[in-house]
Amino acid sequence: MTTIVLLGTLDTKGKEYAYVKDLISADGCEVIVVDVGIKGDPQVVADIGREQVAAAAGVKLEELIVKNDRGFAIEQMSRGAAEIVRKLYRENRLHGVLALGGSGGSSIAAHAMRALPIGVPKLIVSTIASGDTRPYVGQSDITMMYSVVDIAGIHSISEKILANAAASIVGMARASRSHKSDHSGKPLVAVSMFGVTTPCVTKARACLEKLGYEAIVFHANGSGGRAMEGLIKDGYFRAVLDVTTTELADELVGGMLSAGKDRLEMAGKLGIPQVVSLGALDMVNFGPIETVPEKYRGRILYKHNPNVTLMRTTKQECEALGRLIGHKLNQAKGPVAVFVPLKGVSSISVEHEVFYDPEADRALFESLANTLKPHVQLIVMDMDINDSRFAEAMVNQLHHFITMNGVETGE
């Protein structure tokens, strides 16, 4: 039987959880209710009580109550909830998980859900789902549904929202259990892409697939880079083709698509074969043109669309980016090569295009070359990044690294 886990604070949302439980049970699923509340008395009986959740985090519930520190309590119950759902998943007693809550309940539930593998259905109905959900979703595949109204009672509006949520988690769980993948057995390769490097990545994907790999492409928009680094850490990938390192420019200059200071580090730390290029390092990303910081208004700006404004990186910024990438790759424990496209790092930095700036590009290339240590291969090609030969060369180098490490492909 398909089993849905309901994860929430039963002292404040007990009636709402009871309503959802009845809907899911009526649909033919087993339901396991986990209580992550702390203070008030539970409004309904849980299958896994708050004491068990606290114990899973290595603390006693009484200690959390006496300490009377909400932040600390949420942290501990989050840890305990993560342990509980992991255990249920290992025992094949979790096929989907649903939570209802405000910021606190959503925080606990999201932490627990992020402990589950990608593909396990995860749904949070929350009052904060129409705002910035990045702290909750992170690099996972959590689905967040805006509750519209506060989760406080069953009435003509909330019952529709909660009924949709119940039907959604049941449908996702059943579909997930019945899904059969056609991609099993192939080594996975992480690939980074942006709109201005799409031709390169499209060709690279075709080459990788021909060699027996499965290419998993991440959009280099900040969250994409963080997701890629996170999945590399979790052991999903045999190798990395990091074509598009543009998120480093946003981190350096202050654009809106930074993937954080640790971008371009995880593959090196784990010794995973990687081939890297300089895709879209000619640009920093901002929102609508009126949101560009005043100090940058005199720079070369390009209105990519009504919601995205691109700013050309300067010679000085390119020098800094070259050093930054060099220092990161010098730490790699595994085989690594950097490919430099002399005639442009994006589709709009080639000759006659808006970001064409040979001096800035040269600063990037020379700074990188001067920083790299001998064990990092530097391959310079007299073409732009979207030339099909450039993509082929990168893939061939990565394939060499992988086979050198004894990784079998699905060819």
Torsion of Cα atoms, 190 then 192 then 198 then 200, to 10°: -70
One domain, residues 255 and 314: yes
DSSP state of 253: H
One domain, residues 252 and 320: yes
Task: Tell me which residue range forms the domain holding 147.
Answer: 3-178
What is the separation, in whole angstroms, between the first and last Cα of the chain?
A: 37
For residue 171, what is the enclosing H or E element? helix 158-178
Whether residue 183 is predicted with pLDDT greater than 80 in this model: the reply is: no
Q: Where is the domain boundary, 139, 157, 178?
A: 178
Whether residue 4 is predicted with pLDDT greater than 90 in this model: the reply is: yes
Here the tokens at position 99 are 């939570």
Per-residue pLDDT reduced to its tens digit, 53-64:
999 999 999 999
> What would the mean pLDDT of 223-231 be, rounded to a whole number?
94
CATH number at residue 211: 3.40.50.12030
One domain, residues 30 and 115: yes
Any domain includes 328: yes
Report the C-alpha gap between 170 and 21 in whole angstroms: 11
One domain, residues 146 and 272: no
Any domain includes 410: no
One domain, residues 98 and 13: yes
Any domain includes 411: no
Q: Where is the domain boundary, 150, 178, 206?
A: 178
Any domain includes 224: yes
Report the C-alpha gap between 252 and 55 in whole angstroms: 43
For the chain, the domain total comes to: 2
Whether residue 406 is predicted with pLDDT greater than 60 in this model: the reply is: no
One domain, residues 119 and 235: no
Report the C-alpha gap between 355 and 359 in whole angstroms: 11
pLDDT band at 405 (very low <50, low <70, confident <90, very high): low
CATH number at residue 100: 3.40.50.12020
pLDDT of 407 reads 47
403: CB partners within 8 A, 6+ apart: 409
Whether residue 408 is predicted with pLDDT greater than 50 in this model: the reply is: no
Per-residue pLDDT reduced to its tens digit, 354-367:
999 999 999 999 99
One domain, residues 157 and 217: no
One domain, residues 236 and 282: yes
One domain, residues 205 and 102: no
pLDDT of 179 reads 85
One domain, residues 323 and 209: yes
Whether residue 87 is predicted with pLDDT greater than 80 in this model: the reply is: yes
Report the C-alpha gap between 92 and 3 in whole angstroms: 9
One domain, residues 31 and 119: yes
pLDDT band at 138 (very low <50, low <70, confident <90, very high): confident
pLDDT band at 134 (very low <50, low <70, confident <90, very high): confident
Here the tokens at position 6 are 């309901």
> What would the mean pLDDT of 339-362 be, rounded to a whole number?
98
Q: Which residue has the higher pLDDT, 408 or 362?
A: 362
Mean pLDDT, the chain, whole residue set = 95
Any domain includes 183: no
pLDDT of 40 reads 85
* Closest C-alpha to 100, from 74, 125, 131: 125
CA atoms within 13 A on the CB side of 128: 17
Whether residue 239 is predicted with pLDDT greater than 50 in this model: the reply is: yes
One domain, residues 229 and 136: no
> What would the mean pLDDT of 317-325 be, rounded to a whole number?
98
Per-residue pLDDT reduced to its tens digit, 381-390:
999 999 999 9
Per-residue pLDDT reduced to its tens digit, 19-75:
999 999 999 999 999 999 988 899 999 999 999 999 999 999 999 999 989 999 999
Any domain includes 315: yes
Q: Where is the domain boundary, 114, 149, 178?
A: 178
Any domain includes 317: yes
pLDDT of 410 reads 43
Any domain includes 79: yes
pLDDT of 404 reads 86
